[in-house]
Chain A
Amino acid sequence: MENSGTVLMPGGVRDLLPGEARCKREVENSLLKLFCSCGYQEVVTPTFEYYDVLAPALNDLLAGQLYRFIDDRGQIMILRPDMTTPIARLVGTRLNEQDLPQRFCYAANVFRRESHSGRQREYYQTGVELLGAAGAGADAEVIGLAAESMKLAGVKDFQITVGHVDVLTGVLRGAGFSSAEQKEAKIALSKKDMVKWEGLVAGSQLSAVRKKDFAALPYMHGGAEVLDLLEGLIRDEPAKRGLDCLRRVWKALSDYGFGAQAGIDITLLRGLGYYTGIVFECYVAGVGYPLCGGGRYDELLAKFGYSCPATGFALTVDRVLEALEKQSPSFEERRPDYFITGDDLSSIAEKAKELRENGFIVEVDISESPRDDAVSHASRKGIPHILVMER
Chain B
Amino acid sequence: MKEDMITFALPKGRLLPLVTGILQEAGLFNVDMEKDGRRLIYMDEEKQLRYLICRAADVPTFVEYGAADLGVAGKDVLLEQGKDICELADLGFGKCKFVVAVPSSKLDLYRGGLSGYLSRFGQLRVATKFPRVAESYLRSRGLPGEVIKLSGNIELAPLVGLAEVIIDLVSTGRTLSENNLAAIDEIAGATARLVANRVSYRVKYERLRSFIETVKKNR
B64-110: which have CB < 8 Å to A?
A: 64-67, 82-83, 85-90
A219-B205, A285-B204 known; A118 vs B65 contact (CB < 8 Å): yes
Q: Can you identify 30 A-B contacts, CB atoms within 8 angstroms? A: A116-B64, A116-B83, A118-B65, A159-B202, A159-B203, A191-B87, A192-B85, A193-B87, A194-B86, A194-B87, A195-B87, A195-B88, A195-B89, A195-B90, A195-B193, A196-B87, A219-B209, A283-B199, A283-B202, A285-B3, A286-B1, A287-B66, A287-B199, A288-B65, A288-B67, A288-B197, A288-B198, A289-B198, A290-B198, A290-B199
Whole-angstrom CA separation of A118 from B58 in the bound complex: 14
Tell me how far the C-beta of B147 lies from the nearest C-beta in chain A, rounded to whole angstroms: 16
Which A residues form the contact surface with B (CB < 8 A)? 115-116, 118, 157, 159, 161, 191-196, 219, 221, 263, 265, 283-290
CA gap between A157 and B204 in the complex, in Å: 11
**Chain A min CB distance to B166 (Å):** 24
Shortest distance between the CB of A79 and any CB in chain B (Å)? 21
Q: Does B115 contact A (CB under 8 A)?
A: no
Say yes or no: is B30 at the interface (Cβ < 8 Å to chain A): no
CB neighbours (8 Å) of A157 from chain B are 3
Q: Which residue of B lies closest to A281 (CB)?
A: B202
CA distance A236 to B177 in the complex (A): 56
B84 to A: closest C-beta gap in Å: 8
Interface membership of B200, Cβ < 8 A: yes
How many contacts A-B (CB < 8 Å)? 61
Other-chain contact of A192, B66, B87, B90, B203 (Cβ < 8 Å): B87
Cα–Cα, bound, A221→B201 (Å): 10
Tell me how far the C-beta of A217 lies from the nearest C-beta in chain B, rounded to whole angstroms: 13
Report how many residues on chain B are interfacial, defined by Cβ distance under 8 Å: 26
Centre residue among A118, A285, A290 by max chain B CB count within 10 A: A285
Name B166-219 residues within 8 Å CB distance of A: 193, 197-205, 209
Shortest CB distance B82–A (Å): 8
A263, B197: Cα distance in complex, Å: 18
Q: Which residues of A contact B66 (CB under 8 A)?
A: 286-289
The answer to whether residues A194 and B88 also contact, given A116-B83, A288-B66 and a CB cut-off of 8 A, is: yes
Chain A residues near B209 (CB, 8 Å)?
219
Which residue on B lies nearest to A265, using beta carbons?
B202
- List the B side residues contacting A159 at CB < 8 Å: 202-203
- Main SS of the interface on chain A? loop
User: Is the CB–CB distance between B89 and A221 below 8 Å?
Assistant: no
- The CA of A121 and the CA of B89, in the complex, are separated in Å by 31
The answer to whether A194 and B83 touch across the interface, beta carbons within 8 angstroms, is no
Known: A285-B203, A287-B66. 15 other contacts (CB 8 A): A116-B61, A157-B3, A192-B201, A193-B87, A194-B86, A263-B202, A283-B202, A283-B203, A286-B3, A287-B199, A288-B197, A288-B199, A289-B198, A289-B199, A290-B198
A221 & B198 in contact (Cβ 8 Å cutoff): no
Residue of A nearest to B193 (CB): A195
Q: Is A288 a contact partner of B64 (Cβ separation < 8 A)?
A: yes
Residues of chain B with a CB closer than 8 A to A193's CB: 86-87
Complex: A150 Cα to B202 Cα, angstroms? 17
* Nearest residue, chain B, Cβ from A193: B87
The chain A residue sitting closest to B91, CB to CB, is A195
Chain A residues, Cβ within 8 Å of B67: 288
In the complex, how many angstroms separate the beta carbon of B130 from the nearest chain A beta carbon? 15
Contacts of B82 in A (CB 8 A): 115
Q: Are A161 and B64 closer than 8 Å at their CB atoms?
A: no
**A287: chain B residues within 8 A (beta carbon):** 66, 199
Look across to chain A and name the residue whose beta carbon is closest to the beta carbon of B1. A286
Residue among B64, B67, B209 with the most chain A CB within 10 A?
B64
Write out the residue numbers on chain B whose beta carbons fall within 8 Å of the beta carbon of A219.
Answer: 205, 209
The complex places the Cα of A219 from the Cα of B65 at a distance, in Å, of 21
Measured CB to CB, the closest approach of chain B to A316, in angstroms, equals: 13
B43 to chain A, nearest CB (A): 18
Cα distance A284–B3 when bound, in Å? Answer: 10
How many whole Å from B139's CB to the nearest CB in chain A?
14
* In the complex, the 5 A-B pairs of residues with the closest C-beta atoms, listed nearest first: A288-B66, A192-B86, A285-B203, A283-B199, A193-B87
Chain A residues whose CB sits within 8 angstroms of the CB of B198 once the complex forms: 192, 288-290
Chain A: which residue is nearest B68 at the CB level? A288
Chain A residues in 8 Å Cβ range of B90: 195
Give the Cβ gap from A53 to chain B, nearest Cβ, in Å. Answer: 28
Q: Please, how many angstroms separate the alpha-carbon atoms of A26 and B201 in the complex?
A: 31
Q: Tell me the bound Cα distance from A289 to B65 in angstroms.
A: 8
Minimum CB–CB distance for B75 against chain A, Å = 8
The residue on B at minimum CB distance from A284 is: B203
In the bound assembly, the distance between CA atoms of A116 and B202 in angstroms comes to 23
Distance A107 CA – B22 CA, assembled complex (angstroms): 49
**What is the distance, in angstroms, from B199's C-beta to the closest C-beta of chain A?**
5
| Shortest CB distance B217–A (Å) | 14
Q: Nearest Cβ distance between residue A128 and chain B, in whole angstroms?
A: 23
**Considering the chains assembled together, what is the distance between the CA atoms of A157 and B3 in angstroms?**
10
Q: Is the CB of B202 within 8 A of A221?
A: yes
Query: Are A161 and B202 neighbours in the complex by a CB distance under 8 Å?
Result: yes
Closest-CB distance, A49 to chain B (whole angstroms): 27
Complex Cα spacing A286 to B67, Å: 8
Q: Looking at the assembled complex, report how far the CB atom of B196 sits from the nearest CB atom of chain A, in whole angstroms.
A: 8
Q: How far is the CA of A66 from the CA of B131 in the complex (A)?
A: 22
**In the complex, what distance in Å separates the CA atom of A192 from the CA atom of B199?**
11
Looking at the assembled complex, report how far the CB atom of A258 sits from the nearest CB atom of chain B, in whole angstroms: 15
Instruction: Give CA–CA (A289, B201) in the complex, Å.
Output: 11
